[in-house]
């Protein structure tokens, strides 16, 4: 959404941030002056999380010396799920929670317990140490930040996978052809995936390599296949979000805007498993149709 503010309000917001005024106090002042919750959320995110852009806008306003208001445009993910998406209630899937920024949606009952069990059974004899993409070479490498085991399936490899792929496309609105294959991962006690971005480095080697086969990642879906006794939360540390794994639920987050800007608030990780083990199935969605190069 966009919120129009005059220069005085923009300057007031900037001054409060520079003075170190707590966000809670700024929110109260805005509310007391008649701004609604959505407007307060938008103004505070802009002031406290994009202060440099606010400063640039003020400078531009002074240079132009124009009349009228400045328009604050919120980050809008290309793969965002609208509040009124009717398909989000198909197959008994429910929206349990949503955050506008980072754009996060928690779904309940995304998978049946039988589907969760079947995915774990399919994967358990194929697991190997998980890898990450090297920033320098664009190649997959073992890294201490990611200590899970995983296996990857091709799109529509089985009837079960095809059914899940179709559901993902129907609910997210992203065509199935834009998805990477589903990865199933197991985290034992102490295993984790330290906080990271799922989008590819805009200036990195891997994105250049991927230009003709899918391009940039735009969204992620993490499906929880079991109930870990303790630990294993999906965390967004810069946004103060933490989501506990629950069998059958899924968390979806989108992080690339229409102009190609990548949302740094999508920085996330998988907290260490404290007891038992955690099983998840992950799906990454691309800007364009994705084709895996087979060796």
Query: Strand 103-108 relative to strand 128-129: parallel, antiparallel, unpaired?
Result: unpaired
Residues written for the chain = 295
Rounded to whole angstroms, the Cα distance separating 116 from 245 reads 13
Rounded to whole angstroms, the Cα distance separating 70 from 53 reads 12
For 116-132, b where at least 16 C-beta lie within 10 A, e where not — what string? bebbeebbeeeeeebee
Domains by residue range for the chain, with CATH: 2-73 (no CATH), 86-286 (2.60.120.620)
Asked if residues 137 and 205 have their Cβ atoms less than 8 Å apart, the reply is yes
The model's pLDDT over 182-208, given as tens digits with 9 standing for 90+, comes to 999 999 999 888 889 999 888 888 777
The model's pLDDT over 92-110, given as tens digits with 9 standing for 90+, comes to 899 999 898 899 999 999 9
Global pTM reads: 0.72
Predicted pLDDT at 103: 93
Rounded to whole angstroms, the Cα distance separating 111 from 226 reads 11
Predicted pLDDT at 136: 55
Sign of the Cα pseudo-torsion (87, 91, 94, 100, in order): negative
Predicted pLDDT at 142: 64
- What's the average pLDDT block by block, 10 residues per block, for the chain (295 residues)? 64 89 89 76 81 74 52 73 60 87 93 97 85 56 69 91 94 92 94 90 79 88 97 93 96 91 92 95 93 52
Residue 38 belongs to what H/E stretch?
helix 37-49
Rounded to whole angstroms, the Cα distance separating 234 from 247 reads 14
Predicted pLDDT at 1: 43
Rounded to whole angstroms, the Cα distance separating 156 from 149 reads 22
Other CB atoms within 10 A of residue 105 CB? 23
Predicted pLDDT at 5: 64
Predicted pLDDT at 122: 94
Rounded to whole angstroms, the Cα distance separating 274 from 38 reads 37
290-to-198, 207, 215, 272, 294 alpha-carbon distances in Å: 16, 13, 8, 31, 13
Predicted pLDDT at 37: 74
Q: At what angle do helices 51-64 and 7-19 cross, to 10 degrees?
A: 140
Rounded to whole angstroms, the Cα distance separating 254 from 274 reads 28
* 29-36, Cβ contacts within 8 angstroms, sequence gap of 24 or more: none
Predicted pLDDT at 295: 35
């Amino acid at each position: 959404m966009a919120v129009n503010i005059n220069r005085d309000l923009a300057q007031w917001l900037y001054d409060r941030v520079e003075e170190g005024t707590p966000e809670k106090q700024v929110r109260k002042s805005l509310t007391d002056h008649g701004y609604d919750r959505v407007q307060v959320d938008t103004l505070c995110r802009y002031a406290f999380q994009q202060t440099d852009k606010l400063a640039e806008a003020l400078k531009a306003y002074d240079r132009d010396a124009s009349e009228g208001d400045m328009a604050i445009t919120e980050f809008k993910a290309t793969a965002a799920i609208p509040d009124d998406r009717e398909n989000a209630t198909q197959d008994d899937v429910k929206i349990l929670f949503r955050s506008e920024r980072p754009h996060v949606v928690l779904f309940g009952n995304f998978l049946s317990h039988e589907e969760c069990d079947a995915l774990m059974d399919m994967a358990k004899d194929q697991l190997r140490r998980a890898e990450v993409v090297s920033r320098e070479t664009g190649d997959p490498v073992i890294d201490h930040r990611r200590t899970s085991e995983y296996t990857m399936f091709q799109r529509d490899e089985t009837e079960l996978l095809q059914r899940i792929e179709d559901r993902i496309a129907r609910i997210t609105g992203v065509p199935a052809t834009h998805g990477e294959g589903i990865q199933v991962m197991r985290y034992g006690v102490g295993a984790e995936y330290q906080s990271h971005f799922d989008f590819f480095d805009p200036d990195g080697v891997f994105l250049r390599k991927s230009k003709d086969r899918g391009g940039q990642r735009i969204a992620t879906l993490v499906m929880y296949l079991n109930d870990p006794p303790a630990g294993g939360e999906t965390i967004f540390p810069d946004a103060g979000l933490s989501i506990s794994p629950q069998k059958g639920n899924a968390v979806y987050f989108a992080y690339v805007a229409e102009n190609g800007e990548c949302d740094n608030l999508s920085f996330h990780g998988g907290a260490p498993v404290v007891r038992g083990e955690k099983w998840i199935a992950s799906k990454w969605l691309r800007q364009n149709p994705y084709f895996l190069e087979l060796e």
